[in-house]
């Protein structure tokens, strides 16, 4: 039965709009590429760039993965280009788990400073993927 106009107006919409996903069309080959790139991303960790700890050091994506995925959708990156961007080590900052959590915490966290992350390698990465606007919001000048 079709809902009347009144029912349509008063009934809350239950169904969320289907999430539009970028379907990059993975194949066996690109899955293998993803595996290799991820392995390279976590290889040979260095001490935490923030506090110097060597405990539980992880690679922080300075340009967040969701920014890169949004770019990939907008510019219709191929799967390979997307994967290479996601796991590009120019965009990696080694941080310990504690400093990493602090950076991503909604409240009471300690954000990683712009001066710490802005290496020449990162500049090249941000240029290549047009990510400066988002970067400037996340890591404001003077931070």
Contacting range for Zn ion; rule: CB under 5 A; set: 2-10, 13-21, 49-57, 125-133 = 49-57
Choosing from 30, 41, 53, 70, the residue that interacts with Zn ion (CB under 5 A) is 53
By CB under 5 A, name the one of 48, 86, 126, 131 that touches Zn ion: 48
Task: Choose, by CB under 5 A, the member of 39, 51, 124, 130 that binds Zn ion.
Answer: 51
Q: How far apart are CA 7 and CA 5, in angstroms?
A: 6
Whichever of 51 and 124 has its CB closer to Zn ion, that residue is 51
Give the Cα separation of 91 and 130 in Å (integer).
13
Question: Given candidates 63, 71, 79, 96, which one binds Zn ion under the rule CB under 5 A?
Answer: 96
**From 7-15, 43-51, 67-75, 131-139, span contacting Zn ion (CB under 5 A):** 43-51
Binding residues for Zn ion, per CB under 5 A? Answer: 48, 50-51, 53, 60, 96, 99
């Amino acid at each position: 039965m079709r809902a009347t106009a009144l029912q349509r107006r008063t009934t809350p919409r239950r169904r969320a709009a289907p999430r539009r996903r970028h379907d990059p069309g993975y194949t066996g080959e690109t899955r293998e590429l993803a595996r290799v790139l991820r392995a390279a991303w976590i290889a040979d960790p260095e001490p935490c760039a923030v506090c110097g700890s060597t405990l539980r050091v992880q690679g922080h994506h300075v340009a967040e993965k969701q920014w890169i995925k949004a770019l990939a959708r907008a510019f219709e990156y191929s799967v390979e280009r997307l994967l290479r961007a996601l796991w590009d080590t120019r965009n990696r900052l080694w941080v310990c788990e504690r400093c990493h959590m602090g950076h991503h915490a909604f409240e009471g966290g300690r954000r990683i400073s712009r001066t710490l992350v802005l290496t020449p390698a990162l500049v090249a990465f941000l240029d290549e993927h047009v990510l400066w606007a988002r970067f400037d919001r996340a890591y404001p000048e003077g931070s």
